[in-house]
Structure 1
Amino acid sequence: MKTDVETPVPDRGGGVGKESRAEPRRGVPGAVVLLGFAIVGALVALSLGIYGRVHTPTGRPLALLVGFTGLTPMKAWLATAAVVLGVFQVVSAMWMYGRLPIKRKAPAVLSQWHRWSGAIAFVATLPVAYHCLWSLGYSTFDTRVALHSLFGCAFYGAFTTKMVALRANKLPGWALPISGGMLFALLIGAWATAGLWYLTQSGVPLR
């Protein structure tokens, strides 16, 4: 008598179960899902770039935070604060995943600090991005400014991709580390080509 061949597969409880070859599992591969998320992020970045390009820059701030007398120093310091929090994000994530040369286990509260630091860093970037697009527009008149415009728009695209990926199941194990690393790299790129550049100039107002 002919019977279906069964092969052992891991079950949810960590043991070994059986699955018939006649009924293979189906589903969208995680890499394909991640590609879809990346396309969504790319559309967000492209939309921001198009708006910044076609919008007529006002050349003036919508509003200055208390303590700042100019648009550029406000943007530079807010971006710097976001970078500092971003560094904490990377270090805390590496500690929680056991990627730091520290024997002590990460405290449970670190996950909360990780989430809150990420939220605060993102909020700090919003006035910067808003004034970059509304007051200054997407500019390409020299290499530094062109790179800053590109990095800034791509940062929000990468942020969209990561936030959507955080709520998805069955993604490749490398998906979140890669998306987080890309997000941090774009933040550093946008900051280095504007905030850091400004703060290292001589004779500029710092508030």
Structure 2
Amino acid sequence: MNKKEISGHIAMLSTQMICGLNVPIGKSLLTECLTPIELVVSRILFATLAFWVISLFSKRENVNTKDLVIIALGGISGVACTYLSFAWGLNYTTPVHFALIVALNPIVVMLLSVLFLREAINRQKTIGVLLGIAGAWILVSQMDIVTPGKNNMLGIVFAIANTVMLGFYLIIIRKVAIKYSPVTLQK
């Protein structure tokens, strides 16, 4: 493996670790001190501040107007809708239920790619989708959660909305994300 591949693997591992901690930390904050809206606002404000500060030390990129529209749609679906559905879903259900539903995100992205980008789906992808859905369903239906959520079904609906909105974001931002740096996109 070369340095670029190693850096990519380290970045992916770091991202997965942060995402893995996101659910239990979010649930803890919702349980002890924040409302769902306060959690969303704090996340957005922190991310905004962080990316604007980072952008002070980054090369400035000019973004064309057409791409700004796509980035705005991405901001609505990838930030506003996913953060809100994340906070509300986690508020109503258990971290385990929420995490299992959100783990289906790669399947949702693949299905949305088929629907909107006309990507081909082959036998291997179909089997993977069915196994992923079946596995999540079995785990959720067999769980005996000692401390149930306030309203598990409503929380699961929000978790599904979170997964779909994040998948939608990844699909619509795909081509634009190749053109610009992550700092420019997030800023």
Q: Is this a same-fold pair by TM over 0.5?
A: no
- Tell me which protein shows more helix as a share of its residues: 2
TM-score bin, normalised by smaller chain: 0.3 to 0.5
Q: RCO higher in 1 or 2 (8 Å CA, sep ≥ 6)?
A: 2
TM-score, L = length of structure 1: 0.32
Q: Which one has a larger percent strand, Structure 1 or Structure 2?
A: 1
